[in-house]
């Protein structure tokens, strides 16, 4: 069976250390590529680049994953910066919005994870809550992944993939506020926080607020890979 090519956006860091090196780096936690591999896909990393190139990049892929990372620039959704909002990442914002727009335009299956879900919402005209408590790991300790229960909304695409409430690994302090154009909420946390969004229709577009790459539940990524496989062009055999 063919393994679809799944592009995953990456972090862009001014300094990262490995071996004897301390250099600027584009990087991604290994859980992303592991999850793609376990779901039957091939992972390709998509470091920030010129937004003008996004459409040509997406055209070579079978699906796109917009990964987690820093807070989205509040100016992108018309908000004044809250003091608790993290430092801006303008290169990632511009590149990943372009990837999202290219995937939506081309009908390429798209999955947003944490920041990726938030940026999908913003790209479609939605807004974000810049800070909420209780979702940033045990006791709010920086960098520690926590867990909480997420319940699907019946009748949604997400519910068809994960039909019952389940515990998910999560770490975030921002969330969807006003939904972007066409998006529907497809899962919630116990406190009402929107935990998944999707675009109804023939295209496969889903965002999840948690971090599936930090766990071993492959269902969401498996659904993306299955959609990517269906979206692959049919190549006629040579006569």
Dihedral class, residue 40 (left if φ above 0, else alpha if ψ from -120 to 50, else beta): left
The residues near 127 (Cβ < 8 Å, ≥ 6 apart) are: 77, 78, 79, 121, 176, 177, 178
Q: Is the dihedral of CA 58, 87, 191, 32 positive or negative?
A: positive
CB 134 within 8 A of CB 191: yes
Grouping H, G, I as helix, E, B as strand and the rest as coil, residue 22 is strand
Q: What is the DSSP letter of 93?
A: H
**Does the annotation mark 13 as catalytic?**
no
Residues 73, 96, 195, 213: which is the catalytic one? 213
In 3D, which of 84, 144, 91, 120 has the Cα closest to residue 205? Answer: 120
Check if the beta carbon of residue 150 is closer than 8 Å to that of residue 166: yes
Sign of CA dihedral 175, 150, 146, 140: positive
Catalytic residue among 135, 173, 188, 211: 211
Q: Which of 114, 172, 173, 198 is catalytic?
A: 114
DSSP H or E run through 141: none
Measured between its terminal Cα atoms, the distance across the chain in Å is: 22
Active site annotation includes 213: yes
DSSP, res 57:
H
The Cα–Cα gap between 161 and 22 comes to 42
Positions annotated as catalytic residues are 114, 211, 213
């Amino acid at each position: 069976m063919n393994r679809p090519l799944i592009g995953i956006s990456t972090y862009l860091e001014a300094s990262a250390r490995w071996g004897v090196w301390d250099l600027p780096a584009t990087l991604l936690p290994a859980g992303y590529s592991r999850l793609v591999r376990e779901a039957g896909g091939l992972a390709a990393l998509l470091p920030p680049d010129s937004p003008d190139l996004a459409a040509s990049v997406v055209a070579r892929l079978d699906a796109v994953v917009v990964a987690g990372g820093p807070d989205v620039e509040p100016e992108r959704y018309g908000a004044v910066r809250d003091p608790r909002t993290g430092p801006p990442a303008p290169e990632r914002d511009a590149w990943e919005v372009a990837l999202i727009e290219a995937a939506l335009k081309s009908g390429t299956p798209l999955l947003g994870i944490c920041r990726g879900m938030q940026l999908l919402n913003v790209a479609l005209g939605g807004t974000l809550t810049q800070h909420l408590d209780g979702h940033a790991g045990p006791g709010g300790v920086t960098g520690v992944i926590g867990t909480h229960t997420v319940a699907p909304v019946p009748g949604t695409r997400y519910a068809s993939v994960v039909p019952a409430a389940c515990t998910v690994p999560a770490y975030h302090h921002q969330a969807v506020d006003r939904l972007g154009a066409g998006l529907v909420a497809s899962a919630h946390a116990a406190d009402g926080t929107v935990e998944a969004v999707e675009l109804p229709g023939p295209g496969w577009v889903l965002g999840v607020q948690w971090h599936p790459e930090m766990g071993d539940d492959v269902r969401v990524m498996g659904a993306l890979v299955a959609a990517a496989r269906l979206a692959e062009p049919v190549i006629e055999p040579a006569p």
